[in-house]
Structure 1
Amino acid sequence: MIKNIFESSKNIEREIGHYLFGTWIYLLLLVAILSGIKLISNKTIKFIFKWIVQLLFVISVLNITLVMLLDQTYIKYPSDAYAMLPSGDGGVSYMVPFNGNNLHFRCYENNNNNCNNTDQCKTILFESGLPFYSSVWGNVISKMVTMMGNRKDYSEELAQIGRFCVYDRYGYGWSDSRTESIGALQMSNDLSEYLNVLGIGGDQIIFVGWSYGGAIGQIFTSQKKTAGLVLVDSMDIIDGTNDALIQGIIDGKNSFLLLNLFRLTGIPRIIDSYPLESGYLSAQIPLDPHLKYYSNHVFLNSDFLQAAWHELNVLLDSLRDLEIQINTTMVANNGYPFGSTPLVVLTAGENGDHDWIQRQNTLASYSSNSFHIINNNTNHFVPFQSPDSIINAIIKCISMINQQPNQ
């Protein structure tokens, strides 16, 4: 049973304080530039520069006004973000404390479970890719809530789910930020502590990890006892030697750094053409518009931009830690890093890498009890494009758990 940690909001005083201070410095700089323009003798050039600086001044003032009037609400109250899901939502957000930081968990209870008591039920824990967070699972949440409330869609496997939870890593979504880079290994260790505080035992968790979240899931499962693991187009140890990924890390770090610098100007707010890989959810992304709206306000706050930079900064280290963990547990478990833990690997057939299917086959070999599903109708962004396939993979994992001799 989840412990009595009351639903609360994110503490954003530090974020707002930094925003106000940074904007004040920026406006003073514009005033200084405006004063310096008087020294320009050419009237046409003087007029153009004066007009540009004044426009930048107005945009920045409007931006900080919107931050104070609107953004505080969007980045403070997670429940409001999920309130308009087609399923009616019904989740509860928890700010779970550990070691001076709070992580945001949002959990959904299955009131139609058939467990003798809630502690015997499975908890589905969703882990997002980089640089995404809990909102990326909106379509999956909506479908699972609907299925659990509809007897026609109900199955023996769904009845064994007591709850499912999404959460935000440090700095993402509605979780507290950290000033240092947190890699996958430390995130896995910290996550275990937060779950203990929340009252969720690892041996009843089915860990669902997408992309980078799959790397965290692999480390978590190899370290802890989990009921099962579902890897959704997961990263693997080969990614650490991928030249395209390495260049993408460099480009991504530079982009997030520039966005963080320019957000005080207000200019990033009026741009609606950021790539999906950046974590921004454009109008074309199939997700509840209300949830996207909140998510995109979070996108332009400093905590998110710094969190994305920090994770990219240690991504290669995270993959090296993953390789060490896999190799170590492979020796300890007779060639199977996850032992006999039920493992379902869900692969996007349209990922693009020529050797992707083979690499995903390798992931499936990490357990003596595994099943590999290839979805040829989706690219890497499976949570947006094919939430049903993720739910089916979870159901398959529960079925495999039930078939174990000790079940």
Structure 2
Amino acid sequence: MVRESGSGSSAGHTQGESVWVPTPDGRRLHTMVLAGPGDSEMPTVVFESGAAVNRSMWALVQPLVGEWARAIVYDRSGYGRSAPDPESRTLARMAADLGAVLDHFGPGPYVLVGHSAGGPIVRTTAAANPERIVGLVLVDPTEEGQDVLFHPVVRRLERVALAALRLGARLRVLPWFYRSTVTPLPPDARQDMRREGFTLQAMRTFTAQQRTNLDELAEYRDAPPDLGELPLTVISGGRGGNGVPRSQRPVLNALHAQRAARSSNGRHVVAARSHHYVLLCEPELVADEIHHLVEAAAHR
């Protein structure tokens, strides 16, 4: 296990200690680990970020979970401190990287927590190796049942938005545009996000990811990952904004309710005060729901 030490180490950081995880093809993924109280019976909680952001977006939730369990965040390839991937950033590829993180930290058990586009990633990872997963928490996840995602106009607007993000990264103005989004983060994580979250490399990775992501997600409409009766909590934002238009909020939340209902161990929770970034608006609620799922799984 390779850890940072010396100058530039993450000692005392809100999100814990940096650990580098090798992938089978020779890349390295940057993780940050809060060790928790050392209870070997407690599942490890691993967080998956949304489409274009790094580990720092979990900096309000992870420390709360780290009070009672080992809690791990990581940067997908091309984000944060993780080197870019020379291969296409497909759903399967991203899920395999998350699988490599789990392999590195032991046999489990694990609870996977995914926000937004991280939802399909953790679903794919859990379906590939369900015996080590004891539950999923999906935080305002992307849903393949949301028809508007696949509308040609939306796809064209997405291409325009991606070009604008790359231009903004080149001009180094993205931190200014997203300053209100990152303001709630702890100072050290906010600094990390401003320094690492809005780079041209991150926006190029986002572009590469979106080349295939929606097409793959469309395939899940007919053949979704099989989660069986895996305990599952879906947390919906209660308000529109920050990536989910107000008109789409009822549609998305209905899909979230359907997702939870597919499992007899499913639970749907609405974070009434939150927009899409529930992890920033109501981090205590997210942490409490993770703890609720873990406690419920332990008594089954």
> One fold, TM greater than 0.5?
yes
Distance 1:238-1:297 versus aligned 2 partners, 3 A rule: same
How far apart, in 1, do the equivalents of 2:5 and 2:221 lie?
38
Q: Is the 8 A contact 1:171 1:177 kept in 2?
A: yes
1:360 to partner: Cα distance: 0.7
Name the SS of the counterpart of 1:126 in structure 2. Answer: strand
Mind listing any 5+ residue stretches in structure 1 that lack a counterpart?
A: 10-72, 149-157, 275-279, 330-336
Matched, 1:361 2:248: no
Instruction: Report the counterpart of residue 138 of structure 2 in structure 1.
Output: 231
What do residues 311-369 of structure 1 show as CA deviations (whole Å, max 9, x unaligned)?
2222212313443541xx5xxxxxxx311211111111113213122111111123221
* Cα separation, partners in 2 of 1:245 and 1:142, compared to 1, 3 Å: farther
1:133 aligns with 2:54: yes
Q: Does 1:340 align with 2:229?
A: yes
1:395–1:248: structure 2 CA closer, same or farther, 3 Å change rule?
farther
Separation (CA, whole Å) in 2 of partners of 1:270 and 1:241 = 29
CA 1:252–1:8 in 2, change beyond 3 Å: closer, same or farther? Answer: farther
CA distance in 2, matches of 1:209, 1:270: 28
* CA–CA separation in structure 1 for the residues paired with 2:146 and 2:290: 25
- Residue 35 of structure 2 aligns with which residue? 109
Stretches of structure 2 that go unaligned for 5 or more consecutive residues are: 241-245
Distance 1:178 1:373, change over 3 A: same
Say whether residues 1:295 and 2:204 are aligned partners. no
- What is the rounded CA distance, in whole Å, between the counterparts of 2:10 and 2:220 in structure 1? 34
User: What per-residue deviation string (whole Å, max 9, x for no partner) do you get for residues 112-131 of structure 1?
Assistant: 53xxxx3x430100000111
CA contact (8 A) 1:345 1:364 kept: yes
Letter in 1 for 2:230: T
Kindly tell me the number of residue pairs found equivalent between the two proteins.
Answer: 288
> 1:6 offset after TM fit, Å?
2.7
Superposed CA RMSD in Å reads 2.5
TM-score normalized by the length of structure 2: 0.86
Q: Is the 8 A contact 2:113 2:137 kept in 1?
A: yes
Q: Any idea what SS the aligned residue of 1:125 has?
A: strand
Q: What amino acid sits opposite 1:288 in the alignment?
A: P
Q: Partner residue of 2:211?
A: 313
Counterpart CA distance in 2 for 1:240 and 1:104 is 34
* Residue pairs, 1:124-273, within 5 angstroms: 124-145=45-66, 148=67, 158=68, 161=69, 163-196=70-103, 198-201=104-107, 203-225=108-130, 226-239=133-146, 241-242=148-149, 243=151, 245-259=154-168, 263=170, 268-269=171-172, 273=176
How far 1:282 sits from its partner (Å)?
3.7
Q: Deviations over 1:78-113 (max 9, x none)?
A: 727x73x4xxx5x11111111110001111111253
The Cα of 1:5 is off from its aligned counterpart by 2.6
Equivalent position SS for 1:124: strand
Matched residue SS, 1:175: coil
| Mapping 1:13-24, distance limit 5 Å | none
**Alignment match, 2:243:** none
The answer (yes or no) to whether the contact 1:215–1:234 under 8 Å persists in 2 is yes
SS at match of 1:165: strand
Identity %: 24
SS at match of 1:172: coil
Asked if the contact 2:49/2:114 (under 8 Å) is kept, the reply is: yes
Alpha-carbon distance, 1:379 to partner: 0.6
1:94 alignment partner in structure 2:
19
Moved over 4 A (4+): none
Change (3 A) 1:258 1:78: farther
**What is the rounded CA distance, in whole Å, between the counterparts of 1:104 and 1:350 in structure 2?**
33
Say if 2:34 and 2:63, in contact at 8 Å, map to a contact too: no
Q: Highest CA radius of gyration, 1 or 2? A: 1
Deviations 1:153-175 (A, max 9, x none): xxxxx4xx3x1100111110111
Distance 1:111 1:167, change over 3 A: same
What is the SS of the residue equivalent to 2:263? coil
Q: Contact 2:58–2:73 at 8 Å: present in 1 too?
A: yes
Is the partner of 2:85 in helix, strand or coil? coil
Contact 1:256–1:309 (Cα < 8 Å) also in 2: no
Q: Which is richer in helix?
A: 1
| TM-score, with structure 1 as normaliser | 0.65
Show the counterpart of 1:399: 295
In 2, the alpha carbon distance for the partners of 1:100 and 1:130 equals 23
Q: Distance in 2 between matches of 1:302 and 1:255?
A: 11
Amino acid at match of 2:46: L
Specify the code of the residue in structure 2 equivalent to 1:106: M
Partner of 1:373: 269
Shift of 1:248: 4.5
Q: Deviations over 1:131-164 (max 9, x none)?
A: 111000111123334xx2xxxxxxxxx4xx3x11
Determine the C-alpha separation between the residues in 1 that align with 2:129 and 2:179.
33
- Partner SS for 1:173: coil
Q: 1:393 aligns to what SS in structure 2?
A: helix
Contact 1:127 1:207 survives alignment (8 Å):
yes
